[in-house]
Structure 1
Amino acid sequence: MGEILKLAITIDVEEEGLFGGAYPRSGATVSNVALLEKLEWLTRDFDLPLTLLVDHAVASSGACATVLRHWKDDLGAEIGVHLHPWNTPPFGDGDPLDSTAMPPELLSAKLGNVLEAVEACVGGRPRSFRMGRWDFSESVRRAVLASGLLVDASVAPLKHTPAGTTWFNAPAEPFWLDEEHSVLEVPLTVLPIVPAFGRLAVNMGKSVTRRFSSFGALGIQPVWFPAWSMRQAVRLHAHRHGEVLNLFFHSSELLPGASPHFPTEQSVRNFLEKLRTFVVWLKRYVVVKGRTLSGLRQDMESR
């Protein structure tokens, strides 16, 4: 194969509790963050830098600072931000809320607080962002554009999200969020098997869009898709002249029992082996260049 693909590995680094629906405003456990060490081989063996998108609970934990600084200083990772509005101060009446129901000034204040917390934790102003629960509404887009952030990775194509179907048929390749090219969007790599299927699904309503990824899409997300789909997604993306891949999962998925997908130590090992097998295959199939989210923006600006 002659194609060159750029691969961003973007990890939501957050407290335990996502899959149990129990996010305390304080005292959250973050023991999974230390398990990021299980991913060092991605950088050491395959020259793939990670983008770690860190939420307020993790950034506020002194124990996590050493881990994150190691990734930043020794392994070349980018440290960005991940907003969980339900446990990021300041708190308003009725938290947690979907972003569409949240006053814009409260949303902006939460985003500002997580930016400051991550900056204090690792040094350097974060430049990349992902919204929790893929809740990338218009109010979040506006807050991101006003924040000084340079890259967003909140768009999950072909996924029904709290923001509805606004981004359901978003392209798989990076695109600018505004005409001024101030923020680059790097969506997850999820592709419709047939492009028209995505548009048809939106017209058919929620009952179809909620299930679409199970029958109408391919993706490289190792928790969401089987190994064969990951490989087919790469082949299809290359065939459609795509240049960028964005692979994602949660740090808590490295902790046995912290997610329903990986209840045991063996299931976590199987997941990591699935990820390694995919990376080995990818390196053989195409020329792969590892990129952080900010690195992808630099590539866009240098064109």
Structure 2
Amino acid sequence: MQWSEDFGRRYCIFVDTEEEFDWTQPLSSANRDTTAMAELPGAHRRLRDLGASMVYLADYPVVTDKAAIAVLRRILDIGGADVGAQLHPWVTPPHEEVVNGPNSFPGNLPQTLEAAKIERLTTAICSAVEATPKIYRAGRYGIGPHTAAILSRHGYRVDSSMRARYDYSAEQGPDFGEIGNHAFFLREEDAPIVELPLTTVYTGSLRAGGARFHRMLARIPKGRGIAARLQLLSRVALTPEDMPLTDALEAVRVAAGEGLPILNFGFHSPSIKPGCTPYVRDERDLLAFYRWWDAVIAQLDRSGIRPLSQQQLVAAIDAARV
């Protein structure tokens, strides 16, 4: 799709705003704690003060818990925030499926069940924050063949379920290995849905061969790690979670040099409370998490890449359709 001439280069931050669970254990519909939400206003204010704008993709446990809802409303009052939707099917009614790995990808569910869960989630968000969500993400990046049509019926404008250049087919999930970073129309009927993948950048001297070389290296024991250490090829997702700062800064530089119109960053909301995710285990990790954002947003500013809110994104999509 073609953005308007005055769109420039932008970045957005989509936060998977969700319940807490043990990432090493099987998924369970009983995991509904949202204690990390209490830390979110401070984290939001810190990023907002750097100039960022966030979209909080809230799931069902968050938007049906009184304390978590109060946090979302407080963040909206602070400003620089919007609320979208994220579907974790194992904690979202109706509960008709077996909770297991394949069914954790919403697009694997029967069409009627996926649609019913999206409707329940959307209704809960509207009730919680008195605003209609416009941006959706399938939990575990589990978009399916019917997702776009379902979203269009509920007024969504953007899907961000695809993680560019990642492959989940070994877990019976989708394969995004050939998906790039540019936005595109998932459907162009009466209510079009734009796909905005999570940005993943290849860096290193072999980056021109990106996806092809990355697949080849997977066949060599420790091939990808060796290539990364030799600065030949690295696959860098734009997230502070398990992505070193130096790699992220190089990825921003490469993306800016290639003229990518939108850089789509993300992280999980429980990461702001030490011990809730494997990415932030203690206070030292939390300090590194914030240092990562300090440095990355500073580089975005220097590169002339401006923040993008949900409202601005939807307006840009409307302009791009003309």
TM range (shorter): 0.7 to 0.9
Aligned position for 2:60: 56
Aligned to 2:23, the other structure's residue is in SS state helix
Q: How many Å apart are 1:274 and its aligned residue?
A: 1.7
Aligned position for 1:134: 141
Is 2:55–2:82's contact at 8 Å kept on the other side of the alignment? yes
2:270 aligned with 1:261: no
Q: TM-score, normalised by structure 1?
A: 0.88
Distance change (3 Å), C-alpha of 1:38 and 1:99: closer
Is 2:84–2:134's contact at 8 Å kept on the other side of the alignment? yes
Alignment of 1:50-199 (within 5 A): 50-96=54-100, 97=103, 98-161=105-168, 162=171, 164=173, 166-180=175-189, 182-193=192-203, 194-199=207-212
Q: How many Å apart are 1:22 and its aligned residue?
A: 5.4
What is the letter of the counterpart of residue 123 of structure 2? E
Match of 2:45 among 36, 40, 49: 40
Aligned residues: percent identity? 24
Aligned position for 1:276: 294
Is 2:165–2:200's contact at 8 Å kept on the other side of the alignment? yes
Alignment partners' CA distance in 1, 2:85 and 2:18: 10
Q: How many Å apart are 1:51 and its aligned residue?
A: 0.3
Aligned to 2:305, the other structure's residue is in SS state strand
Q: TM-score, normalised by structure 2?
A: 0.83
Is 2:57–2:84's contact at 8 Å kept on the other side of the alignment? yes
Q: For residues 122-156 of structure 1, what are the alpha-carbon distances to aligned partners after superposition, in whole Å with 9 as ceiling and x for unaligned?
A: 11111111111111232334433443211111111
Q: Which is further off, 129-138 or 188-197?
A: 188-197
Aligned position for 2:248: 230
Q: For residues 159-193 of structure 1, what are the alpha-carbon distances to aligned partners after superposition, in whole Å with 9 as ceiling and x for unaligned?
A: 12256554222121222111337111111111234
| Number of residue equivalences | 297
Distance change (3 Å), C-alpha of 1:159 and 1:224: farther
Is 2:217–2:224's contact at 8 Å kept on the other side of the alignment? no
Aligned position for 1:8: 12
Q: How many Å apart are 1:296 and its aligned residue?
A: 1.6
2:37 aligned with 1:19: no
Structure 2 segments unaligned to the other structure (5+ residues): 1-6
Structure 1 segments unaligned to the other structure (5+ residues): none
Aligned to 1:91, the other structure's residue is in SS state coil
Q: How many Å apart are 1:88 and its aligned residue?
A: 0.3
Q: How many Å apart are 1:20 and its aligned residue?
A: 3.7
Distance change (3 Å), C-alpha of 1:144 and 1:17: same
RMSD, aligned CA: 2.7
